[in-house]
Amino acid sequence: MNKLESVFTNNKVLIPFITCGDPNRDVTKAAVRAMVEGGADIIELGIPFSDPTAESPVVQASYDRALKVGTYADEIFELVSDLRKEITVPFVLVTYANPVFSYGTEDFIRKAASCGIDGIIIPDVPYEEKSEFAEICKEVGISLISVLAPTSTNRISMIAKDAEGFLYISADAGEGESSTVVSDVRAQGVTLPCVTSASISTAIQAKTAATYSDGVVLPSGVVELLEKYGTEAPSHIAEYIKEIKAALQA
């Protein structure tokens, strides 16, 4: 069992997402500390991209803010290295394929591993295209997280059989559909944890989603606080995460 899977033992897992460098790297560091303080189990670190075709407007705007202050791969590796000195919570990078490919896929993934990244999600790399990323991930011990969608149907068993870490049920799925995906996964005999990100931002939504999944992703709740409070956001983020975590444990 790898570090990501072990987080799921006896625990409904909470996975907030944050864009690195929004509005700057110091705030990102403080926000990550606040999420850990609030009880986050895994943290998704978004690498900003100029053309995030699959993101909500809230996340698109945060990518723009982060790019404005020049947050690219090397800056993010440095940020992660610094955080790793004090934080043991697993980190999962969320990035489009091009920033990885353009950096040099092998080089990027090796550096990510050496600074303490545990998993990576590349939303525009489906099962059919994953080998050019998966091989090097395997070698350095990073889980390349597989994504499932409500439209995956006949593809679920193929995808689930070589998935690692956890299965990510994509934000495009509505709540009812996400639960169907989870039961389809279980029907295939796959025991890997399933997390859902179906537009969850409130404690009630998180609690509902956790009734059928092993964990919930907060795709934009933290980003919204950063948008609203800027450099003052970290204390609000700690409160927010605490509230969601309490709902999941109740």
229 Cα distance to chain centroid: 22
* Contact window for another protein (CB under 8 A) among 18-26, 27-35, 165-173, 188-196: 165-173
97 or 140: whose CB is closer to another protein?
97
**Is 20 an interacting residue with respect to another protein (CB under 8 A)?**
no
Amino acid present at 243: E
Backbone angles phi and psi of 109, in degrees to 5: -70, -35
103 or 240: whose CB is closer to another protein?
103
Identify the residue among 30, 101, 110, 227 touching another protein (CB under 8 A): 101
The closest of 191, 182, 20 to 99, measured between CA atoms, is 20
Identify the residue among 15, 94, 149, 248 touching another protein (CB under 8 A): 149
**Is 163 an interacting residue with respect to another protein (CB under 8 A)?**
no
User: What is the rounded CA–CA span in Å between residue 38 and residue 114?
Assistant: 27
Minimum gap (Å) between residue 228 Cβ and another protein: 21
The token pair at 201 is 């931002």
Reading phi first (left if > 0) and then psi (alpha if -120 to 50, else beta), residue 116 is in left
Rounded (5°) CA angle 165-166-172: 140
**Is 223 an interacting residue with respect to another protein (CB under 8 A)?**
no
**Is 32 an interacting residue with respect to another protein (CB under 8 A)?**
no
**Is 97 an interacting residue with respect to another protein (CB under 8 A)?**
yes
Q: In the complex, which residues of this chain contact another protein (CB under 8 A)?
A: 49-51, 53-54, 57, 60, 67, 72-73, 96-103, 123-129, 147-155, 159, 170, 172-173
